[in-house]
Amino acid sequence: MTDNNNTAKRGLLIVYTGNGKGKTTAALGMCVRAVGYNWHICLIQFVKGSWKYGELKGLKRLEPNVELHLVGEGFVGIVDDTKDFEEHQKAAKKGIELAVEKIRSRKYPLVILDELNVALDLGLVSDEDVEMILDECPEDVNLVITGRSARNWLIERADLVTEMKEIKHPYQKGITAQKGIDW
């Protein structure tokens, strides 16, 4: 991977974490920026899988540069989840395998693993699974991992870490999630 000056670029490990909103949004902003340079991006979403939300429609408009894979079976243990935990685990493990495959292909200068931290925190995948992904990642591939509760070892290994901190949320005033803003 090179820029216009033909200088080799080192891929970065970027982590967006914290209890505030904006982790996926930050990753999607990077995705839009990369499309502006005609990069191909692979986005794999863990956990969110069963819901239909606006970002899916927006990402469709970025095809063929953006390849989206929904590997989750929905939010685990909350809202309308009726699936067995093992079903969620199986889906997340397939997501790990897919991530390794896409990273190894070297087709994508940017790979986004959305909500992987949550899948790790919930026990859907293991520390070893995530470490394997990092170990498989070529030096010129940028890898973004999002989700609450990033592990300390991942934070230490990352090149860039941003923590989204909730200060105020409309839900505290009884305002529910808004179409086009939250989903």
CATH number at residue 112: 3.40.50.300
Residue 6 lies in a domain: no
Q: 40, 67 in Cβ contact below 8 A?
A: yes
Per-residue model confidence (pLDDT) at position 81: 60
In the numeric block, the tokens 């390794």 are attached to 100
Residue 5 lies in a domain: no
Q: Match 């990033």 to its residue by tokens.
A: 150
Please indicate, yes or no, whether the overall pTM of this predicted structure exceeds 0.75: yes
180 in a domain, yes or no? no
Rounded Cα distance, 12 and 152, in Å: 17
Per the domain annotation, does 1 fall within a domain? no
When pLDDT is cut at 50, 70 and 90, the band that residue 74 belongs to is low
Considering the domain boundaries, does residue 7 fall inside one?
Answer: no
CA 52 remoteness from chain centre: 16
Specify if 179 maps to a domain.
Answer: no
> Is there a domain that residue 118 lies in?
yes
Of 180, 173, 177, 181, nearest in space to 75 by CA: 177
Question: Which of the four pLDDT bands, split at 50, 70 and 90, describes residue 26?
Answer: very high
Residue 171: inside a domain: no
Q: How many domains does the chain have?
A: 1
Range of the domain at 64: 13-164
d(CA 21, CA 127): 24
Q: Give the strands of the sheet with 13-17, arranged side by side.
A: 66-70, 41-45, 110-114, 142-146, 13-17, 160-163
pLDDT of residue 2: 43
Tokens 């934070």 correspond to what residue? 155
Helix (H, G, I), strand (E, B) or coil at 144: strand
Binned at pLDDT 50, 70 and 90, residue 79 comes out as low
